[in-house]
Amino acid sequence: MKTGIKSKMKRWSGWFGLMLLCTAVELRAQRNDTISLSLQDVVEMAKSTSIASKQAATIKETKYWEYKTFRSNYQPQLSLSGILPGYNKTFTEVQQPDGTILFQPIHNNNSSLDLSFSQSISATGGTIFGTTQLQRFDDFERNTKLYNGVPFGIGINQPLFQFNSLKWDKKIEPLKYEESKQAYVESMEQIAFNANGYFFDLLLAQVNYQIAVTNLENTKNILRIANEKLELGKISKNEILQLELTRLNAQKSVGIAKRDMEISTLNLRSYTGLKSTDRIKLILPSAIIKMDVNAENVLEQAYANRSDAIAFVRRIAEAKRDISKAKGDNGLNAALTAQLGYSKSALTVPGVYQQPLDQQEVQLIFTIPILDWGRSKSRTKTAEANLQFTTYAVEQDKQIFTQQIFTQVTLFEMMKDQLLLTAAADSIASEKYQIAKDRYVLGNLSITDLSIAFQEKDQAKRDYISALRDFWGAYFQLRYLSLYDFEQNRKIAYGNVQR
């Protein structure tokens, strides 16, 4: 009997312990199934884990390696080339002195190695080079072999009166690289601006949902009081019907607000790359930012930091390069090649390097257009017209750039004032609604006036969130336009952006 009781006690203890464990897990889940995020949390999350941030980083990396490729064009190049083996066994036609053809057998090996270096000269567009070569020829039909080589040779290849791409690339490519680095910072600030939009989309949806739920509860309470008044004969049936309609509309608003909140949550998760499935509760951001800005300072920072400012210089340089190319490709084109060194043939490899003979080579290749029906002049004039057009376009873009800065600074100051006004209106509307609700309960306010106070309260809350959104949007837009942190008074940079 005692054994049975003990067995039951152990079994009940086990079940009780399991229930406690499940309860603890459930309570822990209830505590952890909601994640609170501030605006800064969402922005930093988007900058670090969003697809947009990864794309920006990939573009930055691509531009870095493109720049490294450009730099390598100005460094010495060393290469080894050859044919190992060059074996050949076949028949080939040989024309005889009398004009007939005989097919002679060929069985040989013609192998070679060439070690060479080259160095570009950016000032002239030419190339200096050096080489050492060794060639071996085996004739298996006659059982002979022969070596030929260039122990040492040095030369130059210099284009004359031609377009010098090396000189222009040296001017333009560093600008493009600096432009890409600032474009990466701009991309990150654009991500911050976009994240701000998704944050306030969800925040407004959450506020609308809270408003809808609160309005539904308040409507139910007011309807309960109204039914009591109806029994006492203090109000009409029509007023009850109006409250019933208000309750139904409030229930519909809860459903719509919940739907909008789920959609906004999904959009925020998708953009920021948030993997957690916990519910998101957003923290209302501050309405105060400690920073002073003026248009001249913002414009100065924008010209110092933005990729657009670098692009203005680059676009003019590219247009001038096109003129130089048009002139270089349309006139006298010539190329001078000169080489000095030693060469020798021998029956052995050491023999090639013993008392080699002088080797000289000079070659001038040129092309002179005699009749092109004005094509050369047309190309040059087209390039010059394009330079003029680019100059006007850059000037216009500078004006737009400047005007955008001044407009945004003005908007930021306006948003600060607007935020203060909407905050005051929200406070007044909430207090007015509370007074109206109390007066209705006491019976000295109509249902129409209560509904008006109802709507004004909700609209004032939404207007405040919208003003807050515009204020922070203007803040992030200022950062994007200037690439400058006016709170910390420093230039914005991300990671190894100098790479």
126 vs 114, 164, 281, 321, 332, CA distance in Å?
Answer: 21, 9, 65, 18, 17
Q: What is the CA radius of gyration of the chain?
A: 41
Task: Note whether 219 and 348 are same-domain residues.
Answer: no
Answer yes or no: is 57 within a domain.
yes
368 vs 196, 331, 338, 364, 380, CA distance in Å?
Answer: 63, 7, 21, 13, 17
Tell if the pTM clears 0.95, that is, is over it.
no
Answer yes or no: is 498 within a domain.
no
Torsion of CA 176, 181, 182, 184, to 10 degrees: 120
Asked whether the beta carbons of 468 and 285 are under 8 A apart, the reply is yes
Query: What pLDDT, on a 0 to 100 scale, did the predictor assign at position 186?
Result: 94
The Cβ of residue 85 has, within 10 Å, a number of other Cβ atoms equal to 11
Distance, in Å, from the CA atom of 464 to the CA atom of 480, rounded to the nearest integer, reads 24
- Name the average pLDDT for the chain: 85
Query: What pLDDT, on a 0 to 100 scale, did the predictor assign at position 32?
Result: 53
Answer yes or no: is 417 within a domain.
yes
- H/E stretch holding 142 reads none
pLDDT at 491 over 80: yes
* Greater model confidence, 293 or 399: 399
State the pLDDT confidence band at 235, using cuts at 50, 70 and 90: low
- H/E stretch holding 360 reads strand 357-367
- pLDDT (tens digit per residue) in 92-144: 898 888 889 999 888 999 999 999 999 999 889 899 999 999 999 999 888 89
Answer yes or no: is 298 within a domain.
yes
215 vs 7, 211, 252, 368, 454, CA distance in Å?
Answer: 56, 6, 11, 88, 8
DSSP string, 282-307: EPPPPS-------HHHHHHHHHHH-H
Candidate from 189-193, 386-390, 493-497 with smallest mean pLDDT: 493-497
Instruction: Specify the CATH number for the domain of residue 287.
Output: 1.20.1600.10
Query: What pLDDT, on a 0 to 100 scale, did the predictor assign at position 184?
Result: 95
Task: Note whether 184 and 294 are same-domain residues.
Answer: yes
Answer yes or no: is 179 within a domain.
yes
Distance, in Å, from the CA atom of 232 to the CA atom of 351, rounded to the nearest integer, reads 129
Task: Note whether 394 and 282 are same-domain residues.
Answer: yes
Distance, in Å, from the CA atom of 330 to the CA atom of 379, rounded to the nearest integer, reads 8
Query: What pLDDT, on a 0 to 100 scale, did the predictor assign at position 15?
Result: 36
Answer yes or no: is 150 within a domain.
yes
Q: Which domain holds residue 112?
A: 77-121+126-163+332-368
- What's the domain count of the chain? 2
Task: Note whether 310 and 401 are same-domain residues.
Answer: yes
Going by DSSP bridges, is the β-strand pair 34-37/279-282 parallel, antiparallel, or unpaired? parallel
Question: How confident is the model over 283-295, as a mean pLDDT?
Answer: 85
SS3 call for 443: coil
Query: What pLDDT, on a 0 to 100 scale, did the predictor assign at position 496?
Result: 57
DSSP 8-state class, residue 201:
H
- H/E stretch holding 7 reads helix 2-32
Task: Note whether 141 and 105 are same-domain residues.
Answer: yes
Task: Note whether 172 and 308 are same-domain residues.
Answer: yes
31 vs 25, 28, 34, 173, 289, CA distance in Å?
Answer: 10, 5, 7, 55, 32
Q: Angle 237-272/447-482 helices, nearest 10 degrees?
A: 20
Task: Note whether 293 and 394 are same-domain residues.
Answer: yes
Asked whether the beta carbons of 278 and 32 are under 8 A apart, the reply is yes
Task: Note whether 301 and 189 are same-domain residues.
Answer: yes
Candidate from 97-106, 322-331, 438-447 with smallest mean pLDDT: 438-447
Task: Note whether 84 and 210 are same-domain residues.
Answer: no
pLDDT at 90 over 50: yes
- H/E stretch holding 100 reads none
Task: Note whether 269 and 349 are same-domain residues.
Answer: no
Distance, in Å, from the CA atom of 334 to the CA atom of 480, rounded to the nearest integer, reads 50
Task: Note whether 139 and 218 are same-domain residues.
Answer: no
Going by DSSP bridges, is the β-strand pair 333-346/490-491 parallel, antiparallel, or unpaired? unpaired
Candidate from 51-55, 260-264, 285-289 with smallest mean pLDDT: 285-289
pLDDT at 264 over 60: yes
Answer yes or no: is 140 within a domain.
yes
Distance, in Å, from the CA atom of 260 to the CA atom of 268, rounded to the nearest integer, reads 12
- H/E stretch holding 141 reads none
- pLDDT (tens digit per residue) in 131-148: 999 999 999 888 899 999
Query: What pLDDT, on a 0 to 100 scale, did the predictor assign at position 133?
Result: 93
Answer yes or no: is 288 within a domain.
yes
Alpha-helix residue ranges (DSSP H) falling in 33-162 = 39-49, 51-72
Task: Note whether 100 and 248 are same-domain residues.
Answer: no
